[in-house]
Each structure stands twice: as C-alpha cells, then as structure tokens.
C-alpha cells in the first residue's frame, strides 16, 4: 500500500516525488501504522519495487492479504491518483471505508458523487468483484473497474479489428447506451486502451473498435470513444461475414461426432450445404455470450426444430422455446439465452424470414447490426 498513518494519526501518502534519501531518513525517524488495523507497518524501500508500506509477516489484517501488490499496480495507482489531482478533483489514495471494511485504490469525488476506482492487475473472481461492486453501490459510491491492459503479442493498432478477450477480461465490460466497452490502462506507457462497441463472434473472440488515449488527454468522467462511422461499420460487417464464413468452412472438418453431429444433421435434414447457409443464420444477437456454440449453430438448430415441429415464426410461445431447450439443453449457458432466442425471432421477422429457405433483405440485416451494436440508442 502507498498510504499509512504517522505517529500523530495523520495520513501519510508516499508520493512519487520523494527521493530515496528522503525516504531513508523518514524510515529512521518515523513510525507508520496501518489505517485499517492500526498495527505498525514497515516502509519498504527496495531497488526494484516502488516504495510502499507492508505489514509484518504474522499480521491478521485484511489489507495484508492483498499485499502481493506488484510494481505495476503500485505505479498505476500513483499515476491515476496524480491524474485526478491534476484534473483538480477531490481525490484520496487507498482510503479506508470502515462501513465497507474496504479500501478502494482511489476514491474521487465529482459533484457530490463519490467514485471508487479499482485498478485491477491480478485476477479477481466474478463473485468477489460482484460483492465489492454491490458494497460500493449500497454505500452510494459508483465503482469503476479499470483493467490492466492485457498483454498482446503485437501492439494494438487503433481502429476496428478482431480481438480476443479472456473470460476474466470480459468481466470488466461496462455498458454505455447498451453498447459494450472495456477500458484498460497500461502504467508502463501511461496510456488508456479502449475496446469499444464490442460485437461477440464466439467464445473469446470479438470485433471491437480499439482506441488508445494517453493519460494526459484523459478526463473525468472518462472520455468515451465516438460512435463508429459508416466506413468503420463496413469493416465490422466485413469482419463478421468473414468470421462466420470461416467458421462454416471449418465446421465440417472439425466435427467429432460425424453423422451424430446435431448441427451437420440439421443442415443435411434441411437440405442446406453447411458453407452456404443463408446469412441470417449466424447473426450476433446479444453483446454477451449466452450460448455454448457459435451463433450459426444454435440458430440452425432452432430453425430446424421449428420446421420439424411444424411451427411458424409468427407464432412462437414460450412452450415452444421450452421444448427446444429440453431437446438441446447443452446449448443454453444461462437464462439470458432465452431472451436472446426471442430477440433472434424478432430479427428474423423484421428480415421477412419465415423459414430457412426464405428470401430475405440483406440491407435490413446490415441495418439491424448497425443499430444493435453501434448506433446511439
Ligand atoms: Zn492493517
């Protein structure tokens, strides 16, 4: 941690402007205590690590458990704290919030609203993150989670592209006007990286608008990436079609179950070649991943199910959806999947699709995708 109480119970912040000699002097002459448990803490001044306070080894303090803090986390906290100071907000570093028994990395106040900034460098479990988020919200504090920019083989270039986000990274998604965004920060370069207007392809893969923003240009509330232009949307459209086609081309080859493969059977049963399925099979519907398979797969199975059962898209009751779910339970990851399926039906209706060999309006599909993932709602 970067803060501690001195002997007079005053909060001491280890600002970056202290030079090594000053700190050595301080350590000789001052005693420091943990703001949370009041135990005495050590001022660590190493050659490699950023100077910080640490509990003694046998401490039971909650804070002590999170002391595997990395240099990058300490550096990030310094930078974000200084940024809010420069922007002239009321800001506190690691303040202890007794009600929550929690210490956000940074607490910043704007127009009487407090924001907890959590800069996340190590993995945190989904339930843990949810608990902390709920705690903040109950205390009327808005939490903002910032992920450390994920390591990537080649530096990201700005613009629309396909990216991969691990489930851990996906936890940091926030929704602005229904569109999905992730904001990350890299202390090594002092640059924010935005993954905006996320369109899921499958599992870890997304199409995203990637944008760098140096810390010097950041504001608060954090700047948002502009709505993609028509030219940029055309790249989304092209990348989506390409990813979908690649999936279909490969799908025949990767089938492990042969003739038992439900998806291939469905294509065969309906008299469709896998690689020539109409474009309305494989549409991204939700900006979360709710099905265990690629969109084209569950959508094909759904259309076949309707055909087999003799249902028309204009009359889909929840019983029909239940029947489908019982038939293919493995497809449904979560409860949201049902809603996604209903939304898919609505899209098909709008496209004028009644069954699998229907003609459809490709321009309407283009417009749907634009409205769903990019347009201001
Ligand atoms: Zn403590």
> What's the gap in Å between 66 CA and the centre of ligand 1?
10
Residue 69 and residue 79: Cα distance in Å, rounded?
15
Q: Is position 51 within any domain?
A: yes
Asked if the model's pLDDT at residue 185 lies above 70, the reply is yes
Contact 371, 177 (CB under 8 A): no
Give distance in angstroms: CA of 36 to centre of ligand 1: 5
Rounded mean pLDDT, 50-79: 84
Residue 119 CB neighbour total at 10 angstroms: 24
Residue 365 CB neighbour total at 10 angstroms: 20
In this predicted structure, which of 178-187, 238-247, 352-361 has the lowest mean pLDDT? 352-361
Domain end position, chosen among 226, 243, 277: 226
- Reported confidence tier of residue 2, pLDDT bands at 50, 70, 90: very high
What is the structure's pLDDT at 289?
82
What is the band of 194 on the pLDDT scale with cuts at 50, 70, 90?
A: very high
Residue 198 belongs to a domain: yes
Cis peptide before 221 (omega within 30 of 0): yes
Q: How far is the CA of 62 from the centre of ligand 1 (A)?
A: 6
Q: Strands 32-33 and 11-13, how do they pair? A: unpaired
Q: How far is the CA of 100 from the centre of ligand 1 (A)?
A: 15
Q: In b/e form, how buried is each residue of 292-330, taking b as 16+ CB within 10 angstroms?
A: ebbbbbbbbbbbbbbbeeebebeebeeebbeebeeebee
Least confident of 53-62, 86-95, 233-242, 315-324: 53-62
CA pair distance 1, 13, nearest whole angstrom: 10
Q: Give dist(CA 70, CA 122) in Å, integer.
A: 9
pLDDT at residue 323 in the model: 95
Instruction: Examine the domain organization and report whether 45 and 116 are in the same domain.
Output: no
What is the number of residues in the chain? Answer: 377
* Pure H helices in the chain: 20-29, 62-65, 71-86, 126-138, 167-170, 230-254, 262-269, 295-309, 318-327, 336-351, 362-373
Tens of pLDDT, residue by residue over 8-51, are 999 999 999 999 999 999 999 999 999 888 999 999 998 888 99
CA of 57 to the centre of ligand 1 (A): 11
Residue-level pLDDT at 356: 83
CA of 132 relative to ligand 1 center, distance in Å: 19
pLDDT at 49: 84
Q: What is the SS3 assignment for 100?
A: coil
143 with 219, same domain: the answer is yes
Q: Are 209 and 321 members of one domain?
A: no
Asked if the structure places residue 25 within a domain, the reply is yes
What is the Cα–Cα distance from 132 to 128, expressed in whole angstroms? 6
Q: How far is the CA of 39 from the centre of ligand 1 (A)?
A: 6
User: What CATH number is associated with residue 129?
Assistant: 3.40.1350
Taking residues 237-251, what's their average pLDDT? 94
- In the reported structure, the alpha carbon of residue 72 is separated from the centroid of ligand 1 by a whole-number distance in angstroms of 22
Residue range 339-366, pLDDT digits in tens: 999 999 999 999 989 878 888 889 999 9
Measure CA 339 to chain center. 21
- My answer on whether 117 and 260 are in the same domain is no
pLDDT tens figures, 248-259: 999 888 876 666
Alpha-carbon distance of 260 to 13, in angstroms, equals 65
Q: What is the pLDDT of residue 125?
A: 82
Cα(143)–Cα(123) distance, integer angstroms: 17
Cα 88 to averaged position of ligand 1 atoms, centre (Å): 30
Neighbouring C-alpha atoms within 13 Å toward the C-beta of 191: 13
87 and 153 share one domain: yes
> Is the C-alpha dihedral spanning 150, 152, 157, 162 positive or negative?
negative
Same-domain pairing of 90 and 198: yes
- Residue 27: CB atoms within 10 A of its CB come to 15
| Between 369 and 59, the higher pLDDT residue | 369
- Residue 64 — very low, low, confident or very high, per pLDDT cuts 50/70/90? low
Identify the band that residue 67 occupies on the pLDDT scale cut at 50, 70 and 90.
low
Cα–Cα distance, 354 to 297 (Å, whole number): 18
Domain count, the chain: 3
pLDDT above 70 covers what percent of the chain? 97
Q: What is the pLDDT of residue 87?
A: 97
Terminal CA-to-CA distance of the chain, rounded, Å? 41
Task: Let me know if residue 64 belongs to a domain.
Answer: no
Domain range enclosing 237: 233-373
Strand partners, 206: 163, 200
Instruction: Write down the pLDDT at residue 358.
Output: 84
53 alpha carbon to ligand 1 midpoint, in Å? 10
- Out of 60-74, 75-89, 273-287, the most confident range is 75-89
List pLDDT tens digits, range 110-167: 999 999 999 998 878 888 889 999 999 999 999 999 999 998 888 899 999 999 999 8
pTM: 0.88
């Amino acid at each position: 941690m970067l803060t501690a109480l001195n002997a007079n119970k005053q909060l001491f912040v280890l600002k970056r402007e202290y030079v090594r000699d000053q700190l050595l002097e301080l350590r000789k002459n001052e005693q420091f205590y943990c703001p949370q448990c009041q135990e005495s803490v050590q001022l660590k001044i190493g050659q490699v690590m950023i100077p910080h306070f640490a509990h003694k080894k046998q401490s039971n303090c909650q804070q002590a458990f999170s002391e595997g803090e990395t240099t990058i986390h300490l550096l990030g906290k310094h930078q974000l704290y200084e940024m809010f100071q420069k922007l002239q907000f009321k800001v506190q570093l690691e303040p202890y919030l007794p009600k929550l028994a929690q210490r956000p990395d940074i607490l910043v106040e704007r127009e009487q609203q407090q924001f907890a900034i959590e800069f996340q460098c190590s993995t945190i479990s989904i339930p843990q993150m949810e608990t902390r988020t709920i705690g903040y919200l109950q205390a009327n504090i808005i939490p903002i989670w910032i992920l450390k920019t994920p390591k990537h083989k080649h530096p990201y270039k700005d613009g629309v592209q396909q990216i991969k986000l691990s489930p851990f990274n996906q936890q940091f998604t926030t929704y602005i006007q229904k569109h999905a965004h992730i904001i990350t920060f890299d202390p090594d370069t002092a640059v924010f990286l935005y993954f905006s207007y996320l369109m899921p392809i499958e599992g870890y893969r997304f199409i995203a608008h990637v944008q760098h923003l140096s810390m010097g240009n950041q504001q608060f509330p954090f700047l948002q990436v502009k709505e993609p232009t028509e030219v940029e949307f055309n790249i989304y459209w092209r990348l989506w079609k390409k990813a979908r086609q690649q999936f279909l081309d490969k799908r025949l080859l990767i089938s492990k179950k042969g003739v038992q493969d439900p998806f291939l059977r469905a294509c065969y049963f309906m008299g469709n070649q896998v690689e020539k399925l109409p474009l309305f099979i494989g549409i991204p519907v939700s900006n979360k991943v709710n099905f265990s398979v690629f969109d084209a797969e569950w959508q094909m199975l759904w259309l076949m199910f309707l055909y087999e059962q003799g249902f028309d898209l204009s009359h889909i009751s929840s019983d029909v959806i239940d029947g489908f779910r019982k038939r293919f339970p493995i497809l449904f990851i979560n409860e949201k999947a049902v809603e996604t399926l209903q939304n898919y039906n609505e899209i098909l209706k709008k496209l004028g699709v009644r069954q699998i060999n229907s003609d459809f309006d490709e321009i309407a599909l283009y417009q749907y995708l634009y409205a769903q993932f990019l347009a201001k709602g």
